[in-house]
């Protein structure tokens, strides 16, 4: 039977979704799961949830926990699939440092897990861990597929595919299928009637076409209806799950670009220089941009964890619904040969002609028993490629820090960030990076760039 290792299994809610999806698959009803985390209490919570879910679904999977920094390699031994879902440094101290130091220097964030000075720091915490994981995979399970859900997705994917190309890797996100669901709700049409092609980079991929398949089999372009609805104020509908995070930024970008981006408005606001400006607070008010949103979510999740765990446990006594995540589709397609198509993050290598060829891109991927086969998209509309290039510039210089083993490239990466450069001078950017690096150095021994550690 297949063996699946979950790294970061203490992320109980997400682990429940991923593992639950896999347990629904007939080929995985007796699979072996190795659950790894550095937090034993959260790991025990996940073990309990998985045991109950296993029984509820009627599966006979085996679960074994591995806790602590010396146990990860053991958890990986003989694995067929490795799924990563962790955050190095956690909310405290790492995320707090990212937000508070940036704010002190005049730079405000919403989520800060993808780009900008804070995204660079999150990548700096994460990439060394991934390179270690990759080395362990090559030692104890070299044929395993690494399915990564950790942000900053593009930076990690680029670093892994460039520095550990022997590892079978794909980066996964739920923004493509998640946004499609949101747009179907705005348009009041069924999810299942949608047909689309999305491509770009993670958190900045665009629907190159977005259509509804009608009853007679014909395709209707939905973009005119979406644009008309936005201009008339009928859409977007309020986000009932996250009322602080309306979808206004993306629709505004759609109005000017002609294509809809796949990542949420609270994310996308900080990938461009157009929305978060200290000198123009009216923009933040107009587009209801939730500054400091990610710390607020973390505080709420920490405060409500006991209640949340109780709700999860109670929910397991009811009907368990599959999620929309891609991981189960991938492991099933590779293990059984039943083909699937997902959107994955992989090395470009000719997939998108007018995006830097070394970059990590997000494109449709065909999956079968032979593995993951990215689909060539060709040339993006030039203005989309130009906007994507502003983010790729940051990612490229970030990865260069690891290629050259020189921390100075992180400063250059921050200089190229669209939002950071729109708010701060070069001297201010250097001062910000100096303090971020200094504060993180006090907290962690995970950074291994010569000239700093």
pLDDT above 50 (res 453): no
pLDDT tens for 351-369 read 999 999 999 999 999 999 9
Give, in order, the Cα–Cα distances in Å from 363 to each of 34, 67, 126, 179, 348: 30, 35, 23, 15, 9
pLDDT above 60 (res 444): yes
Task: Please name the residues in contact with 438: beta carbons below 8 A apart, sequence gap of 6 or more.
Answer: none
Helix axes 293-303, 96-104, angle to 10 degrees: 140
pLDDT above 80 (res 318): no
pLDDT above 70 (res 106): yes
CB atoms within 10 A of CB 42: 19
pLDDT tens for 27-42 read 999 999 999 999 999 9
Strand duo 340-347 + 371-374: pairing: unpaired
pLDDT band at 448 (very low <50, low <70, confident <90, very high): low
pLDDT above 90 (res 140): yes
User: End-to-end CA distance of the chain, in Å?
Assistant: 43
* Residue 54: alpha-carbon gap to chain centroid: 27
Higher pLDDT, 315 or 248: 248
Copy the structure tokens of residue 341: 């198509």
Asked if residue 51 lies in contact with residue 313, where contact means CB atoms within 8 angstroms, the answer is no
pLDDT band at 449 (very low <50, low <70, confident <90, very high): low
Strand duo 204-213 + 194-201: pairing: antiparallel
Query: ∠ CA(354), CA(350), CA(128), 5° rounding?
Result: 95
pLDDT tens for 49-100 read 999 999 999 999 999 999 988 999 999 999 999 999 999 988 988 999 999 9
Torsions phi, psi for 66 (to 5 deg): -135, 120
* Per-residue pLDDT, 124: 93
pLDDT above 90 (res 180): yes
pLDDT band at 306 (very low <50, low <70, confident <90, very high): confident
Where b means 16+ CB within 10 Å and e means fewer, 208-229 reads bebbbeeeeeeeeebeebbbeb
Give, in order, the Cα–Cα distances in Å from 397 to each of 128, 160, 220, 279: 16, 15, 41, 28
Q: What is the mean pLDDT of residues 134-139?
A: 98
Rg over CA atoms, the chain: 21
Task: Please name the residues in contact with 410: beta carbons below 8 A apart, sequence gap of 6 or more.
Answer: 120, 124, 397, 398, 401, 433, 437, 449
pLDDT above 60 (res 406): yes
**Which residues share a beta bridge with 199?**
206
Average pLDDT, the chain: 95
Higher pLDDT, 443 or 224: 224
Catalytic residues: 174
pLDDT tens for 214-248 read 999 999 999 999 999 999 999 999 988 889 999 99
Q: Which domains does the chain have, with CATH numbers?
A: 92-111+173-291+325-453 (3.90.110.10)
């Amino acid at each position: 039977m297949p063996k699946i290792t979950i790294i970061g299994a203490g992320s109980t809610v997400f682990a429940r979704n991923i593992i639950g999806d896999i347990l629904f698959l007939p080929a995985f009803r007796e699979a072996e799961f190795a659950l790894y985390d550095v937090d034993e209490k959260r790991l025990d919570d996940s073990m309990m949830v998985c045991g109950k879910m296993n029984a509820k679904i009627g599966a006979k999977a085996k679960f074994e926990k591995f806790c602590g920094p010396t146990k990860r390699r053991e958890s990986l031994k003989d694995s067929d699939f490795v799924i990563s879902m962790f955050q190095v440094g956690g909310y405290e101290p790492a995320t707090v440092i990212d937000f508070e130091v940036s704010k002190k220097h005049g730079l405000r964030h919403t989520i800060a897990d993808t780009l900008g000075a804070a995204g660079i720091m999150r990548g700096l915490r994460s990439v060394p861990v991934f390179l270690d994981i990759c080395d362990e995979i090559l030692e104890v399970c070299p044929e395993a597929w690494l399915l990564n859900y950790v942000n900053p997705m593009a930076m990690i994917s680029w670093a892994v595919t460039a520095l550990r190309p022997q590892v079978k890797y794909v980066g996964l996100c739920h923004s493509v299928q998640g946004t499609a669901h949101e747009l179907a709700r705005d348009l009041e049409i069924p999810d299942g009637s949608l047909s689309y092609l999305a491509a770009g980079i993670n958190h900045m991929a665009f629907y190159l076409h977005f259509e509804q398949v009608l009853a007679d089999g014909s395709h209707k372009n939905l973009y005119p209806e979406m644009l008309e609805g936005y201009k008339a104020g009928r859409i977007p509908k309020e986000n009932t799950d996250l009322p602080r995070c309306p979808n206004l930024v993306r629709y505004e970008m759609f109005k000017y670009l002609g294509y809809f981006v796949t990542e949420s408005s609270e994310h996308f606001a900080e990938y461009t220089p157009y929305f978060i400006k200290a000198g123009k607070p009216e923009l933040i008010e107009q587009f209801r941009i939730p500054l400091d949103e990610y710390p607020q979510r973390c505080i709420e999740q920490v405060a409500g964890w006991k209640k949340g765990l109780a709700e999860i446990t109670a929910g397991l006594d009811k009907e368990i619904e599959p999620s929309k995540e891609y991981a189960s589709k991938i492991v099933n397609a590779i293990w059984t040969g039943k083909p699937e198509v997902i959107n994955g993050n992989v090395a470009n290598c000719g997939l998108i002609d007018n995006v830097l060829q070394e970059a990590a891109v997000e494109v449709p991927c065909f999956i079968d028993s032979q593995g993951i086969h990215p689909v060539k998209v060709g040339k993006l509309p030039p203005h989309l490629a130009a906007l994507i290039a502003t983010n790729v510039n940051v990612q490229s210089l970030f990865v260069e820090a690891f290629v050259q083993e020189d921390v100075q490239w992180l400063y250059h990466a921050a200089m190229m960030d669209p939002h950071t450069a729109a708010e701060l001078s070069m001297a201010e950017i250097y001062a910000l990076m100096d303090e971020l690096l200094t504060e993180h150095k006090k907290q962690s021994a995970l950074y291994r760039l010569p000239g700093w550690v």
